[in-house]
């Protein structure tokens, strides 16, 4: 089972530009979580902080009882191995075949023989549905295939935490739907903690167990999907509805300057659609039972609408 990530009071700036502050959330072990946010709200920066590529100025990131912001280099290196990262553009080496790209972490970080590497690469390419494309160069395959190759590479060291930076970027809605299904299937098969950052509403509505949103340098919220998907916060309703009328403007910088000038924004939300199930033949996600236990303890704190959706999903009448 994957491990939990606990973030407490995290803040990140670049010079005088505060990207976000006071970010506290717990990404539950083995569950699927999505962090949403308009462009430029610092979603990628957040992922980079989690894997130690950027250093936050304040706060803590606790993984397996160790604070990643304050640990030794040796501890960071050890914990880093728990993470597999799918970068936004796939980050494949253009001069290497898909096979060599996927094999790269195994050759760099393990002493496995080429026969063992071949078996693992075959296993992961099969898992992401890329079998047959191993000999091609990244430039010879589609954007969707590059994403899947990047995902296979993120999986070869059997990470307990998988971070995906906008896995949908550059994909059409159909490929995005396939990728969403792939992430749910992956969770069913490997039971890893998966955190996806995106501004894709369809991914946010169908994939995660937990959903959060960054906006105007703060975390608007993070918790069981039903909370945000039924939230009447104007910023959430606007974002999930994908419309122009609301507090979110053309750019993050401009929103920060203007603030909430108007308060009577519409709060109509799209209907809450069911979460994707693993494909037929795959195991039931182990996260389901764990999440149910966790959400049961949160029920008294949920809004009426969120509680209604949780209970009706469990088949409990209101």
Ligand X SMILES: Nc1ncnc2c1ncn2[C@@H]1O[C@H](COP(=O)(O)OP(=O)(O)OP(=O)(O)O)[C@@H](O)[C@H]1O
Binding site for ligand X (CB under 6 A): 14, 19, 37, 39-45, 199
Cβ at position 54, least distance to ligand X in Å = 7
Least Cα distance to 50 among 108, 101, 18, 8 occurs for: 8
Give start and end residues of each alpha helix (H) in the chain. 43-50, 73-80, 98-109, 114-127, 143-155, 173-190, 201-206, 225-229, 234-241, 252-258, 287-298, 304-313
Cβ at position 24, least distance to ligand X in Å = 18
Least Cα distance to 25 among 60, 52, 51, 1 occurs for: 60
How far apart (Å, rounded) are the C-alpha atoms in residues 148 and 125? 8
For residue 33, what are the β-bridge partners?
195, 210
In the bound state with ligand X, the residue whose beta carbon lies nearer, of 17 and 292, is 17
In the bound state with ligand X, the residue whose beta carbon lies nearer, of 45 and 204, is 45
Residue with tokens 């590497």: 117
Cβ at position 78, least distance to ligand X in Å = 25
In the bound state with ligand X, the residue whose beta carbon lies nearer, of 96 and 201, is 201
In the bound state with ligand X, the residue whose beta carbon lies nearer, of 2 and 42, is 42
Cβ at position 287, least distance to ligand X in Å = 25
Cβ at position 253, least distance to ligand X in Å = 8
Strands 210-215 and 32-36: parallel
In the bound state with ligand X, the residue whose beta carbon lies nearer, of 14 and 93, is 14
How far apart (Å, rounded) are the C-alpha atoms in residues 145 and 175? 10
In the bound state with ligand X, the residue whose beta carbon lies nearer, of 3 and 45, is 45
> Token pair of 125, please?
């390419």
In the bound state with ligand X, the residue whose beta carbon lies nearer, of 163 and 302, is 163
How far apart (Å, rounded) are the C-alpha atoms in residues 73 and 241? 44
Cβ at position 62, least distance to ligand X in Å = 22
How far apart (Å, rounded) are the C-alpha atoms in residues 190 and 154? 13
- Contact of 11 with 189, CB cutoff 8 Å: no
Cβ at position 257, least distance to ligand X in Å = 14
């Amino acid at each position: 089972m994957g491990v939990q990530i606990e973030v407490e009071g995290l803040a990140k700036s670049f010079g005088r530009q505060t990207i976000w502050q006071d970010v506290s959330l717990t990404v539950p072990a083995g569950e699927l979580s999505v962090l949403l946010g308009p462009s430029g709200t610092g979603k990628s920066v957040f992922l980079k902080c989690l894997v130690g590529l950027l250093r936050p100025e304040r706060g803590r990131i606790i993984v397996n009882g160790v604070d990643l912001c304050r640990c030794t280099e040796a501890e960071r290196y050890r914990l880093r191995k728990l993470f597999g990262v799918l970068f936004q553009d796939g980050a494949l080496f253009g001069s290497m075949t898909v096979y060599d790209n996927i094999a790269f972490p195994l050759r760099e970080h393990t002493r496995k023989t080429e026969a063992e590497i071949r078996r693992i690469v075959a296993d992961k390419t099969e898992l992401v549905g890329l079998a047959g494309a191993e000999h091609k160069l990244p430039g010879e395959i589609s954007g969707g295939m590059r994403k899947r190759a990047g995902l296979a590479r993120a999986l070869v060291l059997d990470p307990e935490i998988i971070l995906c930076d906008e896995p949908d970027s550059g994909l059409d809605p159909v490929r995005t739907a396939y990728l969403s299904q792939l992430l749910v299937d992956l969770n069913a098969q490997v039971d890893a903690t998966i955190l996806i950052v995106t501004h894709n509403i369809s991914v946010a509505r169908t994939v995660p167990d937990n959903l959060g949103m960054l906006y105007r340098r703060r975390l608007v919220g993070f918790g069981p999907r039903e909370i945000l998907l039924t939230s009447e916060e104007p910023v959430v309703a606007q974002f999930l509805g994908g419309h122009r009328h609301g507090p979110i403007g053309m750019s993050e910088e401009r929103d920060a300057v203007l603030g909430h000038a108007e308060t009577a924004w519409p709060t109509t939300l799209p209907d809450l659609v069911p979460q994707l199930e693993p494909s037929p033949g795959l195991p039931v996600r182990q996260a389901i039972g764990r999440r149910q236990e966790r959400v049961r303890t949160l029920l008294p704190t949920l809004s009426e609408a969120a509680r209604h959706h949780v209970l009706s999903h469990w088949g409990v009448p209101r």
